[in-house]
Amino acid sequence: MSRISYQNRKRMRRIRKGPKEDIFLARLGDGSGMVVVPGQPLYRYVRAVDSDGVLVVRRGAAPDIEGLKVWVGVDPIYRHMRKILGVSSGDSSTGVGAMQAHWETHAEGGSDQGWFTDRQITPLLCYPTTGMSVKVYGGWATYQGQPIHVATTTISLTTSIPVAGARYSLIRISSAGAVSVQDGVAVGSLADLDNSDIPDCADGYAPLAFVRLYVGQTALSKLTTSPDVKMLVWGGGLFDSSASGNATSIQGIPVAGEVPNVGDVLFYDGVNWNPGAVISHEHIFQEDLSALCDNVTVAFATANVFETDSTHVFLNGLMLAPANDYDNGDYTEDVDLQGITFETAPLSSDSLFIAYIRSIGAAAS
């Protein structure tokens, strides 16, 4: 039997065990407050906890907080690179919590997006407490360009309950930030109430919510399927009753040119409101290009023009790297921003999906 040297035996053991993952604990940032690598939004500075040396790694499931302890290791997709794998569960030094490694699934474009309702946004929220009382949470509004503070207030709607039938009442704030109630006209019954029965807010006030009230009522419903209190503030700007018909100013800001008509689109140039189209965008998710994969095609057109650097391309479920972020990227965005081009043609059996931000319109000249 041939003898194997000690070094050869060590080498064989390493081969059998495979590559070392090299996971280590680090702190985010370069030590001077900079976390994101300038000009490289996909990369972050980190420092190993036992070293002052600064490394550049791919971003991962961690908020950009200087000094936050994170785990760093080999990127599971780009094996030649290191990536932030997650936040150290034992770190309480920053006093800031963080989402776990699957946070991207709950973010915009993720497979399990988190949705919020107006009842989860507390500034100026009107929420029923007990009986006929509504708590108005404090916050800030503007009136004719000036800030207005609204203090947290609890207001009772007992005196607004109609003696017969049903009505809508408004919870509103004045230009001084005072909370009050404005009652609408009562109708025959709850079944007769519709949107036209919501009263127009009086001049000098801004509506926060409208409340459903009816004879014999003793408490306000909090049921999400049929709440008695419904928010208005998130549907439009406060104190914007002048922004209709023949308005010459909106929130104290003048409208340039001719008086706008109902349905006109306005955009703000920093000084005035101006008629014309407005720059906007729309998120396109899961546009399926799989049927175009044929082992040959490298150029794939999208259904819409997209904004620069907004594409996210997924091949067989894995997100690919764009060439403008990596020297050896998997694809490039076409110059006309209506397609992508691969270095290597996808196979006919591959699944190919693309997400992007669709460009809509442009500012009026």
CA nearest 237: which of 168, 145, 154?
145
Tell me, yes or no, whether 202 and 137 share the same domain: yes
Tell me, yes or no, whether 148 and 63 share the same domain: no
Tell me, yes or no, whether 102 and 152 share the same domain: no
Q: What is the secondary structure of 307-349 as a DSSP string?
A: -TT--EEEETTEEPPBTTT-TT-SEEE-TTSSEEEESSPPPTT
The answer to whether residues 230 and 168 touch, using CB atoms and an 8 Å cutoff, is no
* 242 within some domain: no
Pairing state between β 166-174 and 253-254: unpaired
- Is 55 exposed, middle or buried (CB count within 10 Å of its CB: 0-12, 13-18, 19+)? middle
- 362 band by pLDDT with thresholds 50, 70 and 90: very low
User: Looking at 110-119, 154-163, 314-323, which range is the least confident one?
Assistant: 110-119
* 240 within some domain: no
Tell me, yes or no, whether 291 and 192 share the same domain: no
Taking residues 252-277, report their average pLDDT.
65
pLDDT in tens, 339-355: 999 988 999 999 999 98
* 265 within some domain: no
Coil, helix or strand at residue 197: helix
- The pLDDT score that the predictor gives to residue 247 is 52
pLDDT in tens, 16-55: 454 455 788 899 988 888 899 998 888 999 998 877 788 9
- The pLDDT score that the predictor gives to residue 108 is 65
Coil, helix or strand at residue 73: strand
Number of domains in the chain: 3
Tell me, yes or no, whether 218 and 128 share the same domain: yes
Cα 314 from Cα 352, distance rounded (Å): 6
Tell me, yes or no, whether 134 and 100 share the same domain: no
Please say whether the dihedral angle defined by the alpha carbons of residues 232, 237, 238 and 240, taken in this order, is positive or negative.
negative
Token pair of 349 as six digits: 């059996």
Tell me, yes or no, whether 192 and 297 share the same domain: no
- Mean predicted lDDT score pLDDT of the chain: 78
Last residue of a domain, one of 173, 208, 235: 235
Cα 292 from Cα 337, distance rounded (Å): 18
* 7 within some domain: no
pLDDT at 12 over 60: no
Tell me, yes or no, whether 291 and 197 share the same domain: no
Name the pTM for this structure.
0.41
CA nearest 214: which of 193, 197, 200?
193
The residue with tokens 């003898």 is 3
The residue with tokens 């009107």 is 126
Tell me, yes or no, whether 44 and 88 share the same domain: yes
User: Looking at 94-103, 112-121, 281-290, which range is the least confident one?
Assistant: 94-103
- The pLDDT score that the predictor gives to residue 45 is 93
* 59 within some domain: yes
CA nearest 307: which of 342, 283, 288, 341?
283
The answer to whether residues 244 and 148 touch, using CB atoms and an 8 Å cutoff, is no
Cα 44 from Cα 34, distance rounded (Å): 9
Q: What is the CATH number of the domain that holds 205?
A: 2.80.20
The answer to whether residues 168 and 211 touch, using CB atoms and an 8 Å cutoff, is yes
Tell me, yes or no, whether 155 and 179 share the same domain: yes
- 141 band by pLDDT with thresholds 50, 70 and 90: confident
**Which residues span the domain enclosing 339?**
280-360
- The pLDDT score that the predictor gives to residue 115 is 64
Tell me, yes or no, whether 145 and 197 share the same domain: yes
Better pLDDT: 328 or 317: 317
* 100 within some domain: yes
- The pLDDT score that the predictor gives to residue 295 is 93
Last residue of a domain, one of 182, 207, 235: 235
Token pair of 224 as six digits: 């999400």
Question: Residue 86: how many CB atoms within 10 A of its CB?
Answer: 19
* 114 within some domain: no
- The pLDDT score that the predictor gives to residue 186 is 95
pLDDT at 65 over 50: yes
- The pLDDT score that the predictor gives to residue 317 is 83
pLDDT at 233 over 90: no
Coil, helix or strand at residue 170: strand
pLDDT in tens, 146-196: 788 999 999 999 999 999 999 999 999 998 899 999 999 999 999 999 989
* 5 within some domain: no
Counting every residue written for the chain, the total comes to 365
Last residue of a domain, one of 106, 139, 163: 106
Tell me, yes or no, whether 102 and 129 share the same domain: no
**According to the per-residue pLDDT averaged within each range, which of 12-16, 101-105, 164-168, 303-307 is highest?**
164-168
Q: What is the CATH number of the domain that holds 75?
A: 2.40.50
